[in-house]
Chains A and B, each alone.
Chain A
Amino acid sequence: MFIEKLQPFLATSYENFPKGRTIGAVVLRTTQSETIFRTEGTGEPMCSEYVQAGVADTATIPRLVMTKRKQIAPERRKGREFLRVHELLYPDPKGNSICSLNTNAPCEMCVDCFLYGFAAGGEGAQKSRVWTEDAFSVLPSTELIGDRTINAIFETGTMRDEEGKASTALNTSEYIKPGVHFLDIVTFKDVTADELRYALGNVLLTTRYGAVSSRVGRMENQILGIFGGIAELPSSLELVQGIYDKLATDQREHPLNTGVLIAATQNVISTWTSKRGISVQLSATELDELIADVDRHLSIDDQASFLKRLSESYEPMRKVKAASKKKGKGKEQEA
């Protein structure tokens, strides 16, 4: 059912020219452990920003921000893990190494390169068709940040040395508490049904974000809404502001009840199909069906054939690329 409803906004095969087909997903990201999102660079505080509390409530509050860059890299890596297992990452054009993220050598051929894009580094460039947005916490960051003080302990195992002097070596480190809700909007442009499955799979299966560590940064992602249209959904900031307005004053405390939050979110997003260019929203049943479908395609049994099918869908474009390369070489010889 879901596929019929979204069909007008999905491409039937990879197409190089934008047609404006837009799928929007509302994503709830909940921290499951202590998490660290720092602003770029070291020694920086936790990412937060002063913004208007609600749409109606115009007071200014600090909110935690999970930047778009903090979301996309781990999610792409998740998909690439699968591609690597099934040997669907290609060598870069110079044949030096297998496609990898954040380096100068995209393969320009794999599912990840076609869907998430790559900068002009090798021989071409591809614009991303997955657009993320900064995610915001619903509640003020002051509620959501914990502080851990690390004391330097002396050899005696106490806070006092042999002469009884107190240790002055104190260190504090900030972290985002478990159970913090971030909301954000992910946009898919001119994707095929299989590309949508792959990209949603990456969102649903990525469980770790933020500063690299084995013990922190666990996060659970849920899809709360899927929309189709020819225009984008409202911003994640407006979404959390709308939700904040719907919460009673005594509900605006950490830990925020997830059920209450989801109800408030559904309430806000249910009005979005009246916006310019947004045509359909999947019903609760259709959304469940879509997520079950994504899980099925990425299950152990079906993963290999699904990814192979997706990878093969780019074959015509790979041929175009090969032809243009040949032509380019010919011209060089003429000159």
Chain B
Amino acid sequence: MKQVELELQTTPPPYKTAQLIELWCAEPVFFASRELSDTYYTEGTIGNYALAYALGWARSPYRLLGKATGRPTYLEDLTPLAGQRYILPAWPVATSASFRFERFNALSDSYWYAMTNNRVAIARDDLPLKRTGKKPNTFRPSNFPQTGRLRMIERGNRFQTIAFGDGELPEYIRVGKFMSKVKVEIVKTVDVIAQPPGEYNCHAYLNSADLTSGLGLLSFDLISIPPASLLKNLRFSGSAWQVGDYTLPANLEFCGGRNHG
């Protein structure tokens, strides 16, 4: 009797195989995860939504008009991938990622500048115009920061992640605000095996928005980044997927599959 129940609850995963992947940062990587005073901090991870776009699984237009300018379209772009493709947020291979700080300066190579309305004016020619009461172009207020510091993931860092589905992956991708080049190496292909409900520890990073609703979260560490917080060292109760050496909560999908079903 008991065995029948177990079988009912252990539905086969939509993915037969998954690829264990290593990512090598050929360039420093920057995401504006956190802002403290004039410093913008990148966390030691690469988010899975960023990876899905970088791998070419979803595409957003080059030109954004009107309202689309400020609104991400993760639901529209990523939920159609349900059952075909999924990728976890990437975690550092070493105990933690290493970082470097860089100043950014919208005028680094200019001889002359002046602070004006939240921006740095760089064109000296504009001074006479200003004296006559006109508002020259380079003096108008800016809605993006002109100077500050960036904490970036250093060149050479290595991350790991798991991509579900058996489609081919590009060898190089671009991630982050500065389109940094990252090399994609497939370590091995492993089977995805359903595990019955129980209590498990997960050693991979997970996106909190991608977990299935019935999952019991017993304990975890939170990495707070946009667009959705990540969980690490998760202990959970529920069905699981065994993927190589990793035990993951079952039924992971972008945005928890909220757009369908």
In contact, A126 and B62 (Cβ under 8 angstroms): yes
The interface residues of chain A lying within 8 Å CB-to-CB of B70 are 120
The interface residues of chain A lying within 8 Å CB-to-CB of B174 are 131, 232
The interface residues of chain A lying within 8 Å CB-to-CB of B229 are none
The reply on A264 being an interface residue by CB < 8 A is: no
In contact, B137 and A210 (Cβ under 8 angstroms): no
Q: Within A116-155, which residues are at the interface with B (CB < 8 Å)? A: 117, 119-121, 123-129, 131, 133-134
Cα-based distance from A211 to B108 in the complex (angstroms): 8
The interface residues of chain B lying within 8 Å CB-to-CB of A328 are 66
Q: How far is the CB of B25 from chain A (nearest CB, A)?
A: 10
Cα-based distance from A210 to B183 in the complex (angstroms): 28
In contact, B63 and A41 (Cβ under 8 angstroms): no
Cα-based distance from A127 to B64 in the complex (angstroms): 8
The interface residues of chain A lying within 8 Å CB-to-CB of B181 are 133, 232, 235
In contact, B65 and A124 (Cβ under 8 angstroms): yes
The interface residues of chain B lying within 8 Å CB-to-CB of A127 are 62-63
The interface residues of chain B lying within 8 Å CB-to-CB of A321 are 63, 65
In contact, A105 and B140 (Cβ under 8 angstroms): yes
Given known contacts A41-B108, A51-B156, A235-B27, A124 and B63 CB-to-CB distance under 8 angstroms:
yes
Q: Within B98-138, which residues are at the interface with A (CB < 8 Å)? A: 102-111, 119, 122, 135-138
Q: How far is the CB of A325 from chain B (nearest CB, A)?
A: 8
Give the residue of B137, B144, B173 whose beta carbon is less than 8 angstroms from that of A96. B137
Interface 9-residue window, one of B4-12, B163-171, B248-256: B163-171
The reply on B26 being an interface residue by CB < 8 A is: yes
In contact, B137 and A102 (Cβ under 8 angstroms): no
In contact, A51 and B105 (Cβ under 8 angstroms): no
Question: Residue-by-residue, is B82-110 near A (CB-CB < 8 Å gives 1, otherwise 0)?
Answer: 00000000000000000000111111111
The interface residues of chain A lying within 8 Å CB-to-CB of B103 are 39-41
Cα-based distance from A16 to B59 in the complex (angstroms): 10
Task: Identify the closest chain A residue to B26 (Cβ).
Answer: A235
Q: How far is the CB of B244 from chain A (nearest CB, A)?
A: 22
Q: How far is the CB of A70 from chain B (nearest CB, A)?
A: 8
The reply on A276 being an interface residue by CB < 8 A is: yes
The interface residues of chain A lying within 8 Å CB-to-CB of B171 are 231-232, 234, 275-277
- Number of A residues near B (Cβ < 8 Å) is 56
The interface residues of chain B lying within 8 Å CB-to-CB of A121 are 142-144
Question: Residue-by-residue, is A9-46 near B (CB-CB < 8 Å gives 1, otherwise 0)?
Answer: 00000001110100000000000000000011100000
Cα-based distance from A92 to B137 in the complex (angstroms): 10
The reply on A291 being an interface residue by CB < 8 A is: no
The reply on B214 being an interface residue by CB < 8 A is: no
Q: How far is the CB of A273 from chain B (nearest CB, A)?
A: 12
The interface residues of chain A lying within 8 Å CB-to-CB of B179 are 128, 131
The interface residues of chain A lying within 8 Å CB-to-CB of B140 are 96, 103-105
In contact, A105 and B168 (Cβ under 8 angstroms): no
The reply on B15 being an interface residue by CB < 8 A is: no
The reply on A300 being an interface residue by CB < 8 A is: no
In contact, A102 and B169 (Cβ under 8 angstroms): no
The reply on A324 being an interface residue by CB < 8 A is: yes
Q: How far is the CB of B79 from chain A (nearest CB, A)?
A: 18
Cα-based distance from A321 to B47 in the complex (angstroms): 32
Cα-based distance from A134 to B156 in the complex (angstroms): 13
The interface residues of chain A lying within 8 Å CB-to-CB of B227 are none
Q: How far is the CB of B104 from chain A (nearest CB, A)?
A: 6
Q: How far is the CB of A14 from chain B (nearest CB, A)?
A: 9
Q: Within A38-80, which residues are at the interface with B (CB < 8 Å)? A: 39-41, 49, 51, 68, 73
Cα-based distance from A125 to B63 in the complex (angstroms): 6
The reply on B220 being an interface residue by CB < 8 A is: no
Give the residue of A18, A126, A211, A235 whose beta carbon is less than 8 angstroms from that of B59. A18
The reply on B155 being an interface residue by CB < 8 A is: yes
Cα-based distance from A37 to B139 in the complex (angstroms): 28
With A235-B172, A238-B26 known, 11 other A-B pairs at CB within 8 A are A126-B62, A129-B62, A211-B109, A212-B110, A232-B172, A232-B174, A236-B26, A276-B169, A321-B63, A324-B65, A324-B66
Q: List 16 A-B contacts (CB under 8 A).
A: A18-B61, A40-B103, A103-B122, A104-B143, A105-B137, A114-B63, A120-B69, A120-B70, A124-B64, A211-B109, A231-B170, A235-B26, A238-B183, A275-B171, A276-B168, A276-B169
Q: Show the binding face of B for A, using Cβ within 8 Å.
A: 26-27, 56, 59-66, 69-70, 102-111, 119, 122, 135-138, 140-144, 155-156, 168-174, 178-179, 181, 183
Which are the 6 A-B pairs with shortest beta-carbon distances? A235-B26, A232-B172, A97-B137, A231-B170, A40-B103, A18-B59
